[in-house]
Amino acid sequence: MSQMSPTVSAFLNTPYELSSDQIAYFKENGFIKLKQVLSKEVIEYMDLIITEEVNRLNKQQLALEDRDTYGKAFLQIMNIWRNSDNVKEIIFGKRLAQIAANLLQVSGVRIYHDQALYKEPSGGHTPWHADQYYWPLDSDKTITAWMPLQETPLDWGPLEFSAGSDQLIAGRDKEISDDSQSFLQEQLKSKGYPHLIEAFDLGEVSFHKGWLYHRAGPNKSNQMRKVMTIIYMDKDIKLKAPENKNQQADWDAWCPGAVIGEVVDTPLNPIIYQL
């Protein structure tokens, strides 16, 4: 297995300067897409290391046509950093974590978990949803870095955003499903939230708030759409009592040992960056 080169390591730990306008845009819209966050060399290394782990850890046996909507949307492999020291080096890089902290306007961030989202050729759409429905966390100081490992044209299923929709309360009780797609499609359209659909350039990374509604189209290409994500949270965030079975499952899986009402400070949730 390839080891991380000094230049890749240096890049992943070099600060990315955000402007005040970019921070303001994120605050208003609940997401932002940033150019040149990752270099070509970094992406090639990430693709090599992460794809190897996805192939090794993937347990999906069903043919695409035999899966439900969620299963057709992507192959999902979580907390890869726990299985690979090479992936851990990537996930613990300070460049992305500093961006997350600066956008959230907090003094530091922990990792909640990572996940690879590989949308297969002919893979289906990802329904409208908000990630934080799944998270037993007591504040909205959460953010996901969405990192395509290739250029991602529109027909490959790039992430789409409903600008400002982190302020919408309706639909926060819905897991990702056909129901969330139909309900939120109507809600977001009727309330006039702008829908942003754009391709991703090589090296472009998006960041979105935990309660922002987002989706992705199907992968109409004949190649895998490869994406790595990291979910960060305010280093002082606390665990809340789970409000649904999925939040209980997340507590058990991603922050075992955390205590309701206390900071989520477990071996699985280290601080990645702080001032």
The pLDDT tens digits of the residues spanning 194-204 come to 999 999 999 99
Q: How far is CA 232 from the centre of its chain?
A: 9
The number of domains in the chain is 1
Q: 3-class SS at 254?
A: helix
In a domain, 143, yes or no: yes
List CB contacts of 170: < 8 A, sequence separation 6 or more: 183, 187
- CA-CA-CA-CA torsion for 230, 185, 74, 71, nearest 10 degrees? 130
Tell me if 110 sits within 8 A of 1, measured CB to CB.
no
Q: Are 138 and 238 in contact (CB under 8 A)?
A: yes
- pLDDT, one tens digit per residue, over 229-273 is 999 999 999 999 999 999 999 999 999 999 999 999 999 999 999
State how far the Cα of 79 lies from the Cα of 59, in Å rounded to an integer: 15
Asked whether residue 166 is assigned to any structural domain, the reply reads yes
CB 43 within 8 A of CB 213: no
Please indicate, yes or no, if residue 178 is contained in any of the structural domains: yes
Q: List per-residue pLDDT tens for the chain, 275 residues long.
A: 578 999 999 999 999 999 999 999 999 999 999 999 999 999 999 999 999 999 999 988 788 888 998 888 889 999 999 999 999 999 999 999 999 999 999 999 999 999 999 999 999 999 999 999 999 999 999 999 999 999 999 999 999 999 999 999 999 999 999 999 999 999 999 999 999 999 999 999 999 999 999 999 999 999 999 999 999 999 999 999 999 999 999 999 999 999 999 999 999 999 999 99
Residue 153, domain member (yes or no): yes
Q: Which helix (H) or strand (E) holds 150?
A: none
pLDDT given for residue 162 in this prediction: 98
Tell me if 177 sits within 8 A of 70, measured CB to CB. Answer: yes
Range of the domain at 43: 6-274
Considering the domain boundaries, does residue 1 fall inside one?
Answer: no
pLDDT at 272: 98
**Total residue count of the chain as it appears in this document:** 275
CB within 8 Å of 245: residues ≥ 6 apart: none
Question: pTM to 2 decimals?
Answer: 0.96
User: Per DSSP, which regions of the chain are E strands?
Assistant: 31-34, 75-78, 108-119, 126-129, 142-148, 159-162, 195-196, 205-209, 214-216, 225-234, 271-274
> Is residue 160 in some structural domain?
yes
**Confidence (pLDDT) at 1:** 55
Inter-axis angle of helices 94-104 and 20-29, to 10 degrees?
Answer: 70
pLDDT at residue number 225? 97
In sequence order, the β-bridge partners of residue 160 are 215
CATH of residue 59's domain is: 2.60.120.620
The end-to-end CA distance of the chain, in Å, is 34
Closest CA to 211 of 172, 251, 177, 245: 172
CA 273/CA 99 separation, integer angstroms: 10
Rounded to the nearest 5 degrees, what angle is found at the Cα of 177, between the Cα atoms of 158 and 181?
65
DSSP secondary structure of 224-239: -EEEEEEEEEETT-BB
Examine residue 147 and state whether it is found in any structural domain, yes or no: yes
Would you say residue 59 lies in a domain? yes
